[in-house]
Amino acid sequence: MKTTAVRLYGKGDLRLETFELPPLKEGEILAKIISDSICMSSYKAAMQGSDHKRVPDDIATNPVIIGHEFCGEILEVGAKWSSQFKPGQRFAIQPAINDPANVYAAPGYTFPHIGGDATYIIIPEIVMARGCLLNYEGDAFYFGSLAEPVSCIVGGFHVNYHTKPGSYEHEMGIVEGGNMALLAGVGPMGLGAIDYAIHNPRKPKLLVVTDIDDTRLARAASILTVEEAAKNGVKLVYVNTSGVADVPAYLMSLTENNAGYNDVYVYAPVSAVVEQADKILAFDGCLNFFAGPTNPEFSAQYNFYNVHYNATHVAGNSGGNTDDLIESIDLMSRGLINPSAMITHVGGLNAVAETTLNLPKIPGGKKLIYTHVNLPLTAIADFAELGQNDPMFKDLAEIVSRYKGLWNPEAEKYLLAHAPALES
């Protein structure tokens, strides 16, 4: 079978190509990709090429398919897995397969025949052997794509830890009923974190979210409202820190008796933000450096006096594990969280290479790709204007208007039925 895919050949070298997939082996699965959301991690891989830990050295002659936030349908199952998976079954995938032979290996970075930015893929045996191919029963494919980034958020809440005085045992997870801050927290991953913080069973009492852009803050506040948080027992406060003379002091003043924050998440790889986070930690506070930098020399000052006397500490995670992904799918399928706010653009496979290589320059949140569609990357906010001359965008604008301007399952079904098909 032929596939059309975006492949990485070297630093900044992404190519949209059609090529033949090899014959299916008994330990493999043939699948059709429907959706993939583009992650900043793919940009980093594209920029670093083989210098990236997950990318092989020989991509110039053996290119890899990029994209790791994908969802689709199984077409054919090798004999080894025929009792567990069936043709027609929808799936999501955990790309962090943690292969003991190569801990960095991951779909979307490492393999020639599996990645999210493709029409058809072959899922290698290691993915099933590690339990990373997951059944997905949701109606909307894009929820299956967002399960991976949401699982990273979930993992961030699980990886934090705290201690009890006099004990060396770590208690994993955020402090329930504690103070939490999400710094630079209204980007796509920050929005998902706000949603999870106010809707998952283990919640903070106070949730402070900062940014320096009024437009982004206003959008976040209109989608994830203070009133909705209050209904779930969380006091939610949005803060624009751009005009605040002493940011740490102001954020501390929002906590009772200036006690500080038990859990602080940094959602932008900016030294000043990391240092703000350090200064607002409570006793035994955990700083989670969530935002992965592109610069391997990235650093920031950290107060080690407080490490010694106030038991402050740092955690981080570059992804979620399979349990986090399963939790994400479950929460979405039950309607407890809705990551649709993370998406601000949609496009077809033809838009992937340019979008990935320019991702930091493109404003907004997640860029959602439908791999069998030929569509330039398009902001959801532009649907109405484009609809003046294009009936498809006119209808899409009307659909998203019924969902607070957000991408939604109805819009996905309409796009898949009406958008121009991708040609090889």
Of the spans 87-91, 164-168, 325-329, 420-424, which averages the highest pLDDT?
87-91
Pair (97, 187) in one structural domain? no
Pair (310, 173) in one structural domain? yes
In a domain, 92, yes or no: yes
Pair (204, 268) in one structural domain? yes
Give which of 260, 267, 242 is closest to 185, Cα–Cα. 267
Pair (21, 102) in one structural domain? yes
At 305, the pLDDT band (50, 70, 90 cuts) reads very high
Residues 6+ apart with CB under 8 A from 301: 271, 275, 278
Number of domains in the chain: 3
pLDDT higher than threshold 80 for residue 424: no
In a domain, 153, yes or no: no
Task: Please compute the mean of the pLDDT values over residues 394-410 and round it to a whole number.
Answer: 97
Percentages of the chain per state (helix, strand, coil), in multiples of 5: 35, 25, 40
Over residues 38-87, the pLDDT tens digits come to: 999 999 999 999 999 999 999 999 999 999 999 999 999 999 999 999 99
Pair (56, 176) in one structural domain? no
In a domain, 306, yes or no: yes
Query: What share of the chain has pLDDT > 70, as a percent?
Result: 100
At 8, the pLDDT band (50, 70, 90 cuts) reads very high
In a domain, 114, yes or no: yes
Pair (254, 197) in one structural domain? yes
Pair (175, 300) in one structural domain? yes
In a domain, 99, yes or no: yes
Q: Give me the residues paired with residue 237 across strands.
A: 208
In a domain, 331, yes or no: no
In terms of pTM, does the model score above 0.85? yes
Pair (247, 280) in one structural domain? yes
At 165 the pLDDT is 85
pLDDT higher than threshold 90 for residue 320: no
Over residues 261-295, the pLDDT tens digits come to: 999 999 999 999 999 999 999 999 999 999 888 78
Pair (296, 200) in one structural domain? yes
> CA 325 to CA 322: how far, in whole Å?
5
> Mean pLDDT score of the chain, rounded to an integer?
96
Which of 106, 137, 168 is the endpoint of a domain?
A: 137
Q: Are 235 and 198 in contact (CB under 8 A)?
A: no
Residues 6+ apart with CB under 8 A from 397: 383, 384, 386, 387
Torsion of CA 226, 254, 305, 269, to 10 degrees: 40
At 236 the pLDDT is 98
Pair (275, 412) in one structural domain? no
In a domain, 167, yes or no: yes
pLDDT higher than threshold 90 for residue 30: yes
Q: What is the domain-level CATH number for residue 267?
A: 3.40.50.720
Over residues 107-150, the pLDDT tens digits come to: 999 999 999 999 999 999 999 999 999 999 988 999 999 999 99
Pair (282, 174) in one structural domain? yes
In a domain, 154, yes or no: no
Q: Which helix or strand (DSSP H or E) is residue 337 part of?
A: none
Q: Are 26 and 80 in contact (CB under 8 A)?
A: yes
Q: What is the domain-level CATH number for residue 95?
A: 3.90.180.10
Pair (189, 108) in one structural domain? no
Query: 38 is in which domain, residue-wise?
Result: 2-137
